[in-house]
Amino acid sequence: MAKDPGFPAPEYAETVLAINFGDAQRYFLDALVEIQYAHVLMLARQKIIPDETARACLEALDGLDLAALRAARYTGQHEDLFFYMEEALTRACGPENAGGMHTARSRNDIAITQYRMALRRELLALIRAAHNARSVLVRRARENIETIMPAYTHTQPAQPTTLAHYLLAVIELLDRDIRRMMAAFATVNRSPMGACAITTTGFPIDREWMARSLGFEGLQWNSYGAIAATDYLTETAASVATATINLGKVAQDLLLWSTAEFGYLRLPDAWVQISSIMPQKRNPVPLEHMRVLASKALAQAQGVLATVHNTPFGDIVDTEDDLQPLVMSMMADALRAIRLLAGTMEDCEINKGRMAERARADFLSVTELADTLVRGDGLSFRQAHHLVSEAVRRMNGHFAEDAMVDCVTTLAPAVIGRPLHTPRAELVRALDPEHFVTIRKIAGGPAPEAVKAALAHTEKEAAADARWIEEKTGLLEEYGERIRTAHLGSVRH
């Protein structure tokens, strides 16, 4: 029988414990310290530990060298960062005091609480970045309410629209992404502290006070679910996955628009990279980085969902130390991608002339010609569509407004059985892309009045979101300051 080398086995230390120790130092140290402060104050407030014990523990916490804790190397002497810190506190205030600090809590509720505290900050940063990106797009849309461009279906030119109309579609994506992330924030920002291992405690703790002290907006109520449920992770991952899929679609368009063949978009020199061999190259690689970072964050979100799928409903390491760095990486990459969208769209140059040129080509406005025949000649839309379609086919790809009207007029007796009655000037006007846009004024359309109404609506929503962001930012900043300046007197009143 092999001799037991003692805990931890070298391979276990190298492959798991040392890595998790470093991740905890990087992501969760601040939250762990704040939990320690709040828990000591709560225990004293509830008279579960004497004031003298609480005071000694608080002084030990005040004396922690956080820089040294962040720099410490894993040696195997302690299982994890929690026990490493516990020993440091024991040295500072003695085992008789430090030992009381762990009354009515477990590493289980501590771990889930620190994960949520770290994740809510990342979520708030992501929401703030999405809000900023939306503000940039709103400004660019206001500048381009009358910038005519082609809309595409199946990657082919379809109908004239405006750049503002296109950007509003992206803005609405961001609106919905922000709503989903706000909902995830509400789920994340619930306190598990007091659940202990999974069934709470017989001590008279105050979970609500603890939650408020740590900046939470309520409890993760049921103690079993506080430890076992993972939907705070999966809801966040789902919101990030949706946002990054949306972002990838936009990145793909922007990259196409930046090609010489499209020529709609030009990034300034600050945003392009050169070739090491081709002197002429101006590579819009930030847009490629946006795309790959969005894809990477999506893959990480899928990894989070896959990792927690079919795990037991209880305390389980699958959702803890090994998974949490993936969650943090997912949030970081999504943030980078959204910031790139804001930065590139803030500074890019738009070739309005090229957009207008392409909107006037490729028969893009002939839907309105068919609509005009319905209105002016009393045709059914299917008759008008058939007549216009036949004219497009006869023109063999060579579009010109007058020639198109001539062709439709010539074909009408054979196709519909009589000449057209609609004045020629109206038929020619129907092929003007600006006319095409201006008469599509119903809600959600590209006409200037419809676009202005939509922008006013999104600006109202954005103002409400700004207030939400300010409120949550204040919440997370204020609790931290309260914790940092906490003393026993503050809990006696």
pLDDT average, residue stretch 12-24 = 96
Q: Token pair of 37, please?
A: 């402060």
Q: Token pair of 394, please?
A: 């006869």
96 with 114, same domain: the answer is: no
What pLDDT band is residue 394 in, cutting at 50, 70 and 90?
A: very high
What pLDDT band is residue 391 in, cutting at 50, 70 and 90?
A: very high
Per-residue pLDDT reduced to its tens digit, 269-309: 999 999 889 888 999 999 999 999 999 999 999 999 999 99
114 with 254, same domain: the answer is: yes
Active-site choice (102, 131, 154, 380):
154
Number of H helices and number of E strands within the chain? 21, 4
Boundary (domain end) residue, out of 289, 321, 351? 351
Where residue 119 sits, what CATH number does that domain have?
A: 1.20.200.10
212 with 304, same domain: the answer is: yes
197 with 326, same domain: the answer is: yes
Active site residue 421: no
Per-residue pLDDT reduced to its tens digit, 51-81: 999 999 999 999 999 999 999 999 999 999 9
What pLDDT band is residue 487 in, cutting at 50, 70 and 90?
A: low
Provide the pLDDT for residue 346. 96
196 with 337, same domain: the answer is: yes
Residue 326 lies in a domain: yes
Is residue 488 pLDDT above 90, yes or no? no
What pLDDT band is residue 493 in, cutting at 50, 70 and 90?
A: very low
Boundary (domain end) residue, out of 351, 374, 396? 351
425 with 316, same domain: the answer is: no
**CB of 45 closer than 8 Å to CB of 491:** yes
Active site residue 239: no
Is residue 489 pLDDT above 70, yes or no? no
50 with 182, same domain: the answer is: no
Residue 482 lies in a domain: no
406 with 332, same domain: the answer is: no
Is residue 229 pLDDT above 90, yes or no? yes
Per-residue pLDDT reduced to its tens digit, 414-426: 999 999 999 999 9
**CB of 32 closer than 8 Å to CB of 110:** yes
Where residue 65 sits, what CATH number does that domain have?
A: 1.10.275.10
What pLDDT band is residue 1 in, cutting at 50, 70 and 90?
A: low
Burial of residue 223 (number of CB atoms within 10 Å: 0-12, 13-18, 19+) = buried
Q: Report how far residue 263's alpha carbon sits from residue 321's, in angstroms, rounded to the nearest whole number.
A: 48
Residue 448 lies in a domain: no
Burial 282-316 (b: 16+ CB within 10 A, else e): bebebbeebbebbbbbbebbebbeebbeeeeeebe
Residue 459 lies in a domain: no
Q: List the domain range (segments joined by +) for residue 370.
A: 366-431
Provide the pLDDT for residue 480. 81
> What value does the mean pLDDT of the chain take?
95
Active-site choice (239, 275, 365, 435):
275
20 with 79, same domain: the answer is: yes
Per-residue pLDDT reduced to its tens digit, 345-381: 999 999 999 999 999 999 999 999 999 999 999 999 9
203 with 255, same domain: the answer is: yes
Strands (E), 163-220: none
According to DSSP, residue 319 is labeled: G
**Nearest to residue 185, comparing CAs of 209, 217, 222?**
217
Boundary (domain end) residue, out of 431, 462, 481? 431
156-162 and 148-153 strand pairing: antiparallel
Provide the pLDDT for residue 6. 85
118 with 97, same domain: the answer is: no
